[in-house]
Structure 1
Amino acid sequence: MPRIIITGASDGIGAEMARQLAQQHRQALQLTLAARNLEHLQAVAAQCQAHGAQTLVLPTDVSEENQCRALIASSVQQFGGLDVLVNNAGVSAHALLSDVSAEHLAWYERLMRTNLWGSVWCTHEALPHLKASRGCIVAVSSLAGLVGVPGRTAYSASKFAMSGFFEALRTELKPAGVAVTIAYPGVVDTRIRYHGYNAQGEAAGVSGLKENHAMPVAECARLIVQGMERRQREVVMTRQGKLGRWVKLIAPGVVERMALAALKHPHTDA
């Protein structure tokens, strides 16, 4: 019976992964759902329980180390171990660096605590249990963690750091039989960008990206679940994303123009 923890499970990709896993494994699933919004977590848990999954709901702010460690400990105590940790919790941001004043720059650090350190703290606490089960770690990064996106300096920095951390960790854990899958979604039809930071460190309320070709969240979640179960090294989404990482090596200027084109107003609005 797989024992899985998903952070950022109250909405978007994390919630959809939980629902798909519950449909797939039904009674043979012990699922821990973590996020800050208790009401939303309970709603997702109820949907998973309807398919027979056992669920544990743990309100968690991954930007706080003690809460990350408590999440892992409580889940392991409840289910007797851990097979998969999905580091999905994250916050978005859209702002040109030149538009961020010195007094507001501190939100860069807050974003890094969520997107990078939350994954580090959860993973560090989970390592002994994942080694015991020869389990799997999933890190939900972003195409912005492969190619720097203008207007997303903070977000790209956090996702590049996340990718580097988990690439190195994958090699460290190879002898222990623990797989590390890094997922690189592009623009997905969720609300994450609308809740992300603007230049003043407040909820943006709008997305700075063109979303007419956004990937459905169900498709994104399906690809991550598939990659997790196949213990793939990487899940790079969209043809443009797969092309961009290689073109970057031989024609970086082309990739920069592609990145600018993804913004609604590349010269005036992030």
Structure 2
Amino acid sequence: MRRVVIITGASDGIGAEMALQLAAKRGSELALVLAARNAQQLDTVAGQCQALGAHTLAAPTDVSVREECQRLIDAAVARFGRIDALVNNAGRSAHALFEQVEDLGWYEDLMRVNLWGSVWCTQAALPHLKAARGSIVAVSSLAGLVGVPGRTAYSATKFAMTGFFEALRAELKGAGVSVTIAYPGVVATQIRYRGYNARGEVAGASGLKEENAMPVEECARLIIGGMERREREVVMTTKGKLGRLLKLLAPGLVEKMALAAVKDEVRPR
């Protein structure tokens, strides 16, 4: 039976790489429903996956709009008849010191993409996932485990994702639906460059140190492995695992570690 996987934020970065790796692994046994706002890039990724043997549906979607989330799920079921996995990967970044933010409107916009897009897609897909005893993946961030200076908005959205999907995992335990939360650190993608700055504009630069960024191929491989093994969590770096433990034992040290990840020119003074 063909496995049907929906990936949001699939036009580039982690989402596109996950789609390509899954297509290479499963070929014609896989149907990929790829969602993102950029229809042209989405078609390119869909074509690459088709060349690897996968069946695809490119579904231009803005997950910050509830009706579009519902249309995405409806289109997937209409085309392929089932849903086996939903990867909530769509997201936007932001870097700004809170005291420099005058208009909090873009905080709300960020929450609609990073949290509500995942909630709306999951609600629409849930009956189909339960029928398939399928899998849900939530791509959070290490900033959803440890607050990072300059990332108040982003951390808030990712902490919210973590709380929602942890609670949902417990609710779905008896239904046979797995919930995997992935916590990438700094990954070599453009997400931080396209995120918001203090004025709510496209940042054009990253506020984090990028020298040791994880290759996107490795990140995607780790998430796919966690999904297929139906793991509860995928914390991707030793520093991330250590930071989570030290948060309970030595919170001040964790704050120093978080500051160390931020470029000097954008640190709080």
TM over 0.5: yes
2:194 matches 1:187? no
Tell me how far 1:105 sits from its aligned partner. 1.1
The answer on whether the counterparts of 2:86 and 2:122 sit within 8 Å (CA) in structure 1 is yes
Q: List per-residue Cα deviations over 1:200-250 (Å, max 9, x = no partner).
A: 101000000001000000000000000000000000011000000000001
Match of 2:9 in 1: 8
Q: List per-residue Cα deviations over 1:155-203 (Å, max 9, x = no partner).
A: 0000000000000000000110000000000000000000000001010
Provide the C-alpha distance between the structure 1 equivalents of 2:238 and 2:265, rounded to a whole number of angstroms: 22
Match of 1:234 in 2: 233
Provide the C-alpha distance between the structure 1 equivalents of 2:164 and 2:104, rounded to a whole number of angstroms: 24
Provide the C-alpha distance between the structure 2 equivalents of 1:189 and 1:110, rounded to a whole number of angstroms: 24
The answer on whether the counterparts of 1:87 and 1:139 sit within 8 Å (CA) in structure 2 is yes
Tell me how far 1:152 sits from its aligned partner. 0.2
Match of 1:222 in 2: 221
Provide the C-alpha distance between the structure 2 equivalents of 1:266 and 1:108, rounded to a whole number of angstroms: 22
Q: Which amino acid aligns with 1:194?
A: Y
Tell me how far 1:268 sits from its aligned partner. 4.4
The answer on whether the counterparts of 1:85 and 1:138 sit within 8 Å (CA) in structure 2 is yes
2:260 matches 1:252? no
Query: How has the CA–CA distance of structure 1 residues 269 and 248 changed in structure 2, closer, same or farther, with 3 Å as cutoff?
Result: closer
Match of 1:39 in 2: 40
Tell me how far 1:267 sits from its aligned partner. 5.8
Query: How has the CA–CA distance of structure 1 residues 269 and 82 changed in structure 2, closer, same or farther, with 3 Å as cutoff?
Result: same
The answer on whether the counterparts of 1:32 and 1:57 sit within 8 Å (CA) in structure 2 is yes
User: Residue 10 of structure 1: SS of its match in structure 2?
Assistant: coil
Query: How has the CA–CA distance of structure 1 residues 269 and 43 changed in structure 2, closer, same or farther, with 3 Å as cutoff?
Result: farther
User: Residue 33 of structure 1: SS of its match in structure 2?
Assistant: strand
**Identity, % of aligned pairs?**
70
User: Residue 9 of structure 1: SS of its match in structure 2?
Assistant: coil
The answer on whether the counterparts of 1:30 and 1:53 sit within 8 Å (CA) in structure 2 is yes
The answer on whether the counterparts of 2:150 and 2:267 sit within 8 Å (CA) in structure 1 is no
Q: Which amino acid aligns with 1:245?
A: R
2:28 matches 1:27? yes
Question: Which ranges of structure 1 fall in alignment gaps of 5 or more residues?
Answer: none
- Figure out how many residues of one structure are paired with residues of the other and give that number: 268
Provide the C-alpha distance between the structure 2 equivalents of 1:180 and 1:266, rounded to a whole number of angstroms: 38
Residue correspondence of structure 1 range 157-196 to structure 2 within 5 A = 157-196=156-195
Match of 2:97 in 1: 96
Tell me how far 1:265 sits from its aligned partner. 2.0
Provide the C-alpha distance between the structure 1 equivalents of 2:182 and 2:86, rounded to a whole number of angstroms: 13
The answer on whether the counterparts of 2:207 and 2:266 sit within 8 Å (CA) in structure 1 is no
Q: Which amino acid aligns with 1:127?
A: L
The answer on whether the counterparts of 2:259 and 2:267 sit within 8 Å (CA) in structure 1 is no
Q: Which amino acid aligns with 1:22?
A: A
Provide the C-alpha distance between the structure 1 equivalents of 2:69 and 2:267, rounded to a whole number of angstroms: 38
Q: Which amino acid aligns with 1:16?
A: E
Query: How has the CA–CA distance of structure 1 residues 108 and 16 changed in structure 2, closer, same or farther, with 3 Å as cutoff?
Result: same
TM-score normalised according to structure 2 size: 0.98
Match of 1:133 in 2: 132
Match of 1:262 in 2: 261
Q: Which amino acid aligns with 2:23?
A: A
Provide the C-alpha distance between the structure 1 equivalents of 2:141 and 2:76, rounded to a whole number of angstroms: 27
The answer on whether the counterparts of 1:150 and 1:266 sit within 8 Å (CA) in structure 2 is no
Tell me how far 1:269 sits from its aligned partner. 6.6
Tell me how far 1:154 sits from its aligned partner. 0.3
Q: Alpha carbon RMSD of aligned pairs, Å? A: 1.0
Provide the C-alpha distance between the structure 1 equivalents of 2:254 and 2:173, rounded to a whole number of angstroms: 32
The answer on whether the counterparts of 1:135 and 1:177 sit within 8 Å (CA) in structure 2 is yes
